[in-house]
Amino acid sequence: MSADCLFCKIAAGEIPARRVYEDDDIIAFHDINPSAPVHFLIVPKMHIASMAQLEEKHAALMGRIMTLVPRLALEQGSQPYPEGGFRVIINTGAHGGQEVPHLHVHVLGGAHPWKHE
Ligand code: AMP
Ligand code: ZN
């Protein structure tokens, strides 16, 4: 855990969030300011600042996060592929539009989520 990190505090239960999934290594919760009818974040509990810090040792963790995406997207109300589907975004660094410096995967679903940006 990194001191003063918002998503570390959510992972530790110190700040509340509307949780959609949790296991020993991963937590997913609704984005507080949704950009689409379905908008949640999947977050590794360990503090990784961004995708720029990923290393080979994180491969299994990231693989688990990515395979959670389709399951959680459907559970949260996105419509089935191919008529439905979802959008996955990982903002990285200042040029990538990252605001919270703890790696997180945005999952956006519902009709035309890209029009809500
Ligand atoms: P990013 O720009 O990729 O760093 O996105 C950070 C996201 O975190 C934004 O979409 C925010 O709405 C979301 N966010 C910020 N604070 C919270 C919070 N306390 N609970 C849930 N989502 C949050
Ligand atoms: Zn953190």
Closest by CA position to 10, among listed 38, 35, 37, 47: 47
Q: Is 30 a catalytic residue?
A: no
How would you write the pLDDT of the chain (117 residues) with one tens digit per residue?
A: 787 999 999 999 999 999 999 999 999 999 999 999 999 999 999 999 999 999 999 999 999 999 999 999 999 999 999 999 999 999 999 999 999 999 999 999 998 756 544
pLDDT at 74: 98
Cis amide bond preceding 44, omega within 30 = no
pLDDT at 113: 58
User: Does residue 94 line the site of ligand 1, with CB under 6 A?
Assistant: no
Distance (Å, whole) CA 107 – CA 104? 10
Contact between residue 84 and residue 17 where contact means Cβ atoms under 8 Å apart: no
pLDDT at 114: 62
pLDDT at 111: 85
pLDDT at 31: 98
Q: Closest Cα to atom 13, ligand 1: which residue? A: 31
Judged by DSSP in three states, 16 sits in coil
Q: Candidates 33, 39, 95, 106: which one to mutate for ligand 1, based on the most atoms within 8 Å of Cβ?
A: 33
